[in-house]
Structures are given as C-alpha cells and as structure tokens.
Amino acid sequence: MTEEIAVIPGDGIGQEVVPVAVDVLDAVGAFEFVHADAGDATKEETGEALPQETYDLAANADATLFGAAGETAADVILPLREAVGSFANVRPARAYPGVDALKPETDLVFIRENTEGVYTGIESEISEGVTTLTRVITEDASRRIAAFGFEYAAENGFDRVTVAHKANVMRVTDGQFLEAARDVAEEGDYDHDEALMDALAMHLLLTPEEYDVVICPNLAGDMLSDLAAGLVGGLGLLPSANVGPENALFEPVHGSAPDIAGEGIANPAATVLSAAMLLEHLGYQDEAANVRSAVEGVLADGPTTPDLGGNASTEEVGAAIIDRL
C-alpha cells in the first residue's frame, strides 16, 4: 500500500524547507504526496488561513508534513493538530557533532501536552484595559500526556523522566497536572522526578546532560524546547511530531522566519529530521535511521547554512543530504 502524505508548506521558509524534506522522503520510499495550502498567503487569496480541504486532507492522510505559518499560526496549526487528533508534541533537542553548540552534551526530548493549558484561546477583555486568559488543565489530558511520556521514555531507552510544573503557584491547574502524573507513575511503576518549570529552565541551561525526557504543560513545553534549541545550535535543528492515537503531523519547531524568508538560506535540517520522525511513525525504522545519519553527516562535514556558520543555500544542503542517501 502506498501511504498518502499531506504536504502543507505554509508561509515563509516553510516554502523552502518542506520541498527539501519531500525530496528526502521521495528518495527513501514510495509515497503519494498531496500538497495543500494554509497560512497568511492562503488567507490573503481565499479569506481563510486553513481551508476546509486542507483540514480534511490532514485528517485523512496517513501522515502530514507541515512547514510553518506566520501571523495566522494559531488559526492554522492548532486546528491542524486537532485534525490529526494529536495530544502530544514530541520535541527532541539534540546536539550534533560538528555543530557549534552551547551545550554539546544535550540529548533530551520534551513531551509537551498540546491540547490545553493557556493555548485554548479563552481570552477576553472584561473591561477597558483589563484582559483575562483562562488556563484549562483536565485530569484526562494530564494523565494521557504523562502516560505517553513514561511509555516514550521506556520504549526509547531513556532513564530519567522529569515532570515540569508550577504547582506551588498554579495550585489547582498544575496541582492537577502533577497529581495526574504521580498517579500514572505509580500505576505503571515508572520512576520520575519533578521540577518547578522556572528553576528547570536554569538547570536545563547549566546541565542539560542530566535530563532525558521532560513532560510539560503546553506553554512550558513550547518555551523550554525553544530554550533547548539555543543549547544545541539554533531553531534550524529541532524537529517535532504532533502525535495522536492513530494519526500524526510532523513539523519543524521553528516558525516562518520572515527575517530570512525568500533568501534560500534556511536550514532544512529541522524539517528533514521531522520527516525522519514521520518515517518512524509509518514504520520505516531503517529509512528513518538512514535519513538521520545523512543529516548528521552533513552537519558534521558540511555544507551548512549561515545559521550554522556556513554559506550554503537550503537547496545545496538538501542536495548534500540526498547524496548521502
């Protein structure tokens, strides 16, 4: 059976890095790629940032590869994550040999809850100059992300699982998040430790090598994984998966990078590594390993894009990765 992969490049550098990842997938497997539009440019043309046909395509495809959306990001990626039924955002942050990383020992994975927290969009202006935001934390979603994180660590051979929270201040919401994680750990006999998310930010900066898997509420996972991007050499290197019970969507952690869009110098590594996660999800473990090792080889020996100190273009780096495959 030929798997159908929905391809949604979106805005900015999404248009430049996604085609590289598609070429890489094409080089290692026989997939059917179905392209669809979303993002700022689509909104300008059609009035909608996420056309229904794009939503349906992601919902029905075997997997989705997404690039980035600019101003319309919340209108695009949040519904797309919902379309694939995703509740876990998996964000590995790993330093690669040859890349000038602040902390070359970093090798950890953030498991971020991605359906609730402060990203539910329940905001209002209750009176002139007074605004509020409702933070939603449910027991079900907290248990689900904790179970996913513990199982992910066990399956991938990670020893340490840390649950990030701020239950000393957000007593009700993060209190519930933490309690749910503790219950799941006890039921499954999983070892874990717990860390206040602000202190954890400092510890991750100083001693990232001490951490393996970090389970986080939504916003904390978003911020801590960007922090980790800084430790390993920048946003051009971080892939991610949005995983649901059956379906999944893969995207680089970075956004549309309007500052460099159109210049052809975006680092495609994050998106190609996201494609490797997609391959793994579809059961192509060997192909995923080959893609990873090709990316690692290019990061070590070049060519590299300007964010990593080189002067190669996105296309040149893509061609070098495909050469190695």
Which residues, 6+ apart, have CB-to-CB distance to 14 below 8 Å? Answer: 39, 66, 67, 68, 69, 256
Return the number of the residue (96 or 152) whose C-beta is nearest ligand ATP.
96
For residue 229, the minimal CB distance to ligand ATP (Å) is 8
Return the number of the residue (114 or 247) whose C-beta is nearest ligand ATP.
114
Query: Does residue 89 sit in helix, strand or coil?
Result: strand
Q: Single out the catalytic residue among 37, 166, 211, 284.
A: 166
63 vs 40: CA distance, rounded Å? 23
Return the number of the residue (17 or 137) whose C-beta is nearest ligand ATP.
17
For residue 266, the minimal CB distance to ligand ATP (Å) is 4
Burial 182-216 (b: 16+ CB within 10 A, else e): eebbeeeebebebbebeebbeebeeebeebbbbbb
Q: Which residues bind ligand ATP (CB under 6 A)?
A: 13, 17, 68, 70, 73, 235-236, 254-260, 266-267, 270, 305, 307
For residue 69, the minimal CB distance to ligand ATP (Å) is 7
Burial 108-119 (b: 16+ CB within 10 A, else e): bbbbbbbbbbbb
Residue 190 designated active-site: no
Chain center to CA of 235 = 11
Q: Which residues pair with 124 in a beta bridge?
A: 132
Residue 55 designated active-site: no
Residue 40 designated active-site: no
According to DSSP, residue 39 is labeled S
Q: Which residues pair with 74 in a beta bridge?
A: none
For residue 222, the minimal CB distance to ligand ATP (Å) is 11
211 vs 40: CA distance, rounded Å? 37
Place of tokens 């998310």: 197
Q: In this structure, are residues 279 and 29 in contact, taking their beta carbons and an 8 Å threshold? A: yes
For residue 189, the minimal CB distance to ligand ATP (Å) is 39
Return the number of the residue (180 or 228) whose C-beta is nearest ligand ATP.
228
Residue 226 designated active-site: yes
Q: Single out the catalytic residue among 75, 174, 222, 307.
A: 222
Q: Which residues pair with 93 in a beta bridge?
A: 108
For residue 50, the minimal CB distance to ligand ATP (Å) is 15
Return the number of the residue (176 or 240) whose C-beta is nearest ligand ATP.
240
Q: In this structure, are residues 256 and 291 in contact, taking their beta carbons and an 8 Å threshold? A: no
Q: Single out the catalytic residue among 56, 100, 198, 301.
A: 198
Residue 222 designated active-site: yes
Q: In this structure, are residues 92 and 149 in contact, taking their beta carbons and an 8 Å threshold? A: no
Return the number of the residue (163 or 299) whose C-beta is nearest ligand ATP.
299
State the catalytic residues: 119, 166, 198, 222, 226
